[in-house]
């Protein structure tokens, strides 16, 4: 499971590193690091807190992926996309409680095609890194 944990952290770090570029590509100010950090920290600490929590989530996902026999890029990307679809309805809650939604910095998220496409792309980045690092036999 150690490999899965480290691969999940690397995948989440790659995701966080690509967020600015993907935000420009999909023309959205939404960010998963901001989603987490904005809920947990005020002021400039949001980025560090959000990225740390995101990497911890990646570690848990990577451990579970490896523990349940996941190997390779295809299965990792598929697993990440399944997670994306399963978690997507939670955007209804985020639309109600997140400070960036309440103050109008972000548009409504749940029905936002750009944000959904962004999420598909970021989950693909995560899955690509995870699957590259968790390959072959145990």
Counted domains in the chain: 1
User: Average pLDDT of 107-127?
Assistant: 97
Contacting residues for 131 by C-beta, under 8 A, at least 6 apart: 70, 71, 72, 73, 74, 75, 76, 77
Average pLDDT of the chain is 95
Helices (H), 1-138: 2-25, 32-40, 46-67, 73-87, 91-97, 99-102, 113-133
Residue 16 maps to a domain = yes
| Residue 138 located in a structural domain | no
Band (pLDDT 50/70/90 cuts) for residue 2 is: very high
Looking at residue 103, the DSSP 8-state letter turns out to be: T
Q: How confident is the model at residue 39 (pLDDT cuts 50, 70, 90)?
A: very high
Does 117 map to a domain?
A: yes
The pLDDT of residue 42 is 85
Residue 13 covered by a domain: yes
> Residues 73-99: what's their mean pLDDT?
97
Find the domain containing 83 and state its range: 2-133
Examine residue 14 and state whether it is found in any structural domain, yes or no. Answer: yes
Q: Specify the pLDDT at position 136.
A: 63
In this structure, is residue 50 part of a structural domain?
yes
């Amino acid at each position: 499971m150690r490999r899965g944990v480290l691969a999940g952290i690397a995948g989440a770090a790659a995701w966080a590193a690509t967020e600015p570029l993907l935000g420009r590509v999909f023309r959205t100010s939404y960010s998963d690091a901001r989603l987490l950090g904005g809920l947990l920290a005020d002021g400039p600490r949001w980025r560090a807190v959000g990225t740390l929590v995101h990497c911890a989530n990646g570690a848990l996902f990577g451990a579970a992926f490896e523990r349940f026999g996941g190997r390779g890029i295809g299965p990792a990307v598929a697993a990440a996309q399944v997670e994306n679809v399963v978690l997507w309805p939670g955007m209804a809650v985020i639309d109600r409680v997140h400070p960036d939604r309440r103050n109008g910095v972000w548009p409504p998220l749940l029905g936002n095609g750009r944000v959904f496409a962004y999420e598909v792309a970021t989950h693909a980045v995560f899955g690509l890194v995870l699957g590259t690092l968790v390959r072959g036999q145990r």
